[in-house]
Amino acid sequence: MDSPSSKLPPLLASIHSPADVKALAPETLPELAQEIRTTLIDSLAKTGGHLAPNLGVVELSIALHRVFSTPRDKIIFDVSHQSYVHKMLTGRADKLNTIRQYQGISGFAKCSESPHDAYGAGHAGTALSAGIGMAAARDLLGDDYHVVSVVGDGAFTCGTTLEALNNLSSTTRKFILILNDNKWSIDRNVGALSRYFSSLQETDTYTLLRDRAKSFVEGIGSKLIQEQAAKLVQAARSFISPLSFFRQMGLSYYGPIDGHDVHRIERVLRLASRRNEPVVIHIITTKGKGYAPAADNPPSYHGIGQYNVKNGVPVRKGGLTYSEVFGQCVTDMAAEDPLITAITAAMPGGTKLDLFREKHPKRYFDVGIAEEHAALFACGMATQGFKPYLAVYSTFMQRCVDMIEHDAALQNLPVKFCMDRAGLSPDDGPTHHGLFDISMLRVIPNLVMMQPKDEAELCHMLNTMNGIMNHPSAIRYPRGAGEGVDIPEELQVLPIGKAELLKDGGDIALLALGNMNSLAAGVCEKLENGGISCAHLNARFIKPLDEAALAEYATRCKLIVTLEDHSICGGFGAAVMEKISELGKTTPVLRIGWPDTFVEHGSLAQLRAKYRLTIEDITADILAAYSEQDQ
């Protein structure tokens, strides 16, 4: 069998480290870029991944490794979903076919994977702050290596990026910030900063004027005249271009530069590397470049599953996803209720609020990659009688915890926090698993929190949220296809804090949350076949819990078992233990969920098998705990 590296095209196969990139003849670089694009397109068709972002940074990644020397020099990618090319140029090209696969390389930069990955992250707005911290540490140590942060224009809508930008020139002198401007984050960028960066793309005149003005000033003999002429040039510069934004931040600016001209990027990077001042290099790239389906529709190919290489058509698995059901249900509800609004943080496609945008454009709001602002924006809207539904991935909603507590819950505002991708987000790994939202939010007073067992119950819960006008509410639902249940035509209002009894029993009570109910049903059947009477309850509500049901089954049963797609540390099971103790019961509680660790990436089946979350393993663990009660 051929080794993976033998299947790579010739130039790419010859690269085992950045030194090999530096050794290439300049005229071969466009050919290398084409080989990288072909390899990305062919490989990701089988594994899925972030296709469009990586196709857009091929030339930039090559130029970075031509000029800088990692791991001594630090290259930090914001979000780092666009680090696939960097991985290929740092000795991992032969492992690209394992990306996002169990025990394969990560779809994000990961320090433990390679010393060339200077900083691991999967959220936007991290690269500039982390890079400035590295540069400050370098300065304290008296070292002189380079620190380069690659930040997309979408991440400039993120508060942490702007906070870092404000701090840059006062913290370090030697730093390079690359603004990768493609007008997209995941969906098309929105807001004033997006318009600002678009205007920067039209200022090649400024670059020409700057260079000529500099030569003119330097050619004047008198120092006084030089100083006055320099001031005049500075004033003219401010007048003819919008670059005062960066100048006021104390940064030197280069660009805009064609982000697909590898030779020009390399020249500018070499120039910037010799400067002892913070430098911004503004490059213009095309997201999805080199693959027509991705270039024509960047949002759909930002993060994509398997697809047909010839036409780019995704390989569809399963029925409607929970995201699609959410988007359709909220859209339909809004047709009947003019007070419903929908808010996203740059993810209309991922959350499926693009369905809402199409039907109710005036009540749809995309605030960019600014989750904290999105939450506060929703709170402000709620004070005026509206019913805002804020849809954000669970892993990103973590940034809103302060706003959920301090603004929504403290003031009892009826904001609806909808957490997509709650629980395991298998292939994306620890940066994207939604395994901590329950523990973060269940301690907040006045908050109603729930999770549906299937698509129909998701719709009923969204309708239930719509009627909660004196409290904030939150709902969590998983990634991917649902259980295959039809969307109901008539929506119910569920009784707050009331569990659903699916099967009665008297020896063991299983309290399952959300998508764990399908596992619980299988476990319950095995226990019954073994002669153990098993009750199965669909918990529905994380907060408030069903106290009456807990009191009843803690009295009747020898063992309570909780099942959740969440960390067992501080999660749903912990809440049940606390409540049973408050009720004065001593019935033991066995918690089934993800362990207190950062779970790696892999398929759902592989990870459940590793962490004993299969029907067989759960049944065995319950039987072991139950047998202890009979001794």
For 39-77, write each residue's pLDDT tens digit: 999 999 999 999 989 999 999 999 999 999 999 999 999
**Side-chain half-sphere of 173: how many Cα atoms within 13 Å?**
8
Report the distance separating Cα 125 and Cα 498, nearest Å. 40
Query: Among the options 371, 455, 457, 564, which is catalytic?
Result: 371
**Contact (Cβ atoms closer than 8 angstroms) between residue 189 and residue 183:** yes
Told to judge if 195 belongs to the known catalytic residues of this protein, a careful annotator would answer no
Q: How far apart are CA 516 and CA 565, in angstroms?
A: 7
The pair of structure tokens assigned to 563 is: 């099942």
163 annotated active-site? no
Does the annotation count 556 as an active-site position? no
Write phi, then psi, for 398 (nearest 5 degrees). -55, -30
For 313-321, the CB contacts below 8 A with 24+ separation are 317/481, 318/480, 318/481, 318/484, 319/481, 319/482, 319/484, 320/455, 320/481, 320/482, 320/487, 321/352, 321/479, 321/480, 321/481, 321/482
299 pLDDT band, cuts 50/70/90, is confident
Amino acid, res. 2: D
CA distance 223 to 229: 10
pLDDT at residue 382 greater than cutoff 70? yes
**How many whole angstroms separate alpha carbon 151 and alpha carbon 198?**
15
**Which residue is catalytic, options 287, 363, 479, 579?**
287
What is the reported pLDDT for 215?
Answer: 55
Q: Tell me which of 210, 399, 543, 608 is the catalytic residue.
A: 399
Angle between helices 58-67 and 262-273 (to 10 degrees): 40
How far apart CA 65 and CA 520 sit, in angstroms, is 51
pLDDT at 461 over 90: yes
CA 526 to chain centre: 38
> How many helices (H) and strands (E) are present in the chain, helices listed first?
27, 17
Q: Does the pLDDT value for residue 375 go beyond 90? A: yes
pLDDT given at position 208: 46
pLDDT at 475 over 50: yes
Residue 423 contacts residue 453 (beta carbons within 8 Å): no
- For the chain, domains (ranges, CATH) are 4-18+28-203+249-301 (3.40.50.970), 205-241 (no CATH), 322-476 (3.40.50.970), 500-630 (3.40.50.920)
Query: Which of 191, 134, 124, 189 minimizes the C-alpha distance to 161?
Result: 124
Q: Which residues pair with 188 in a beta bridge?
A: 184
Provide CB contacts within 8 A for 548, sequence distance 6+: none
Tokens of 387: 């019913």
Closest by CA to 369, choosing from 151, 127, 157, 82, is 157
DSSP per-residue codes, 118-174: -----STT-HHHHHHHHHHHHHHHT----EEEEEEGGGGGSHHHHHHHHHHHHH-SS
Q: In which residue are the tokens 């990659």 written?
A: 369
Q: Is 254 within 8 Å of 220 (Cβ atoms)? A: no
Residue 267 has pLDDT above 50, yes or no: yes
With cut-offs at 50, 70 and 90, classify the pLDDT of residue 288.
confident
Q: What is the mean pLDDT of residues 209-229?
A: 55
pTM across the whole model:
0.87
Beta bridge pairs of residue 95: none
From CA 218, how far away is CA 233, in angstroms rounded? 12
